[in-house]
Amino acid sequence: MFMAKVRKHLRSLVWIQFLLVLTTHAMAQDSYRLEIVPVDKPLSFFTNTLRLTQEFPDRDACTRYVIGLPALMQEKGYITASLDSIAYDSTVARVVIYAGNIYYWNKLDTRRVDPALLDAIGWKASGFEGKPLDIQLNQGLQQR
């Protein structure tokens, strides 16, 4: 009789432990991580200097971020940045990333351009000189 009660309680404890492990595993799946594997710079450059995001609510959010990474880095002046490889797992995405060198605007001579034209496209010299080169911004100005 005593052993039957012990077995019953033991089974209950095993089920409780199983449910706790299952719940803990399910809770751990609530986030998706991006692992950055740098090619040419230390990892701290990507995490501290560029402040790239590494935690996401799910895989889809991480995928959208990874797709936009080259453009994000190019906006910051790293126009040769590239993703050399991308691998997705159930809980983590691994990106092998090349940053390259940062490029800056040096000096743009607009003295021979009609000031009305510069005003029409929203040109401000202070928005360029000495700042990181942003190819998308440059293309936007060209299209205007």
**Residue 129 scores a pLDDT above 80:** no
- What's the pLDDT score for residue 68? 96
Helix (H, G, I), strand (E, B) or coil at 144: coil
pLDDT tier at 1, thresholds 50, 70, 90: low
Assess contact for 139 and 114: CB atoms under 8 A.
no
Site of tokens 């029409």? 120
Q: What share of the chain has pLDDT > 70, as a percent?
A: 65
pLDDT, one tens digit per residue, over 49-103 is 999 999 999 999 999 999 999 999 998 889 999 999 999 999 999 999 999 999 8
**Is the whole model's pTM more than 0.75, yes or no?**
no
Tokens 């991580």 locate to: 33
Residue 46: phi, psi to the nearest 5?
-75, -35
Amino acid 9: pLDDT = 59
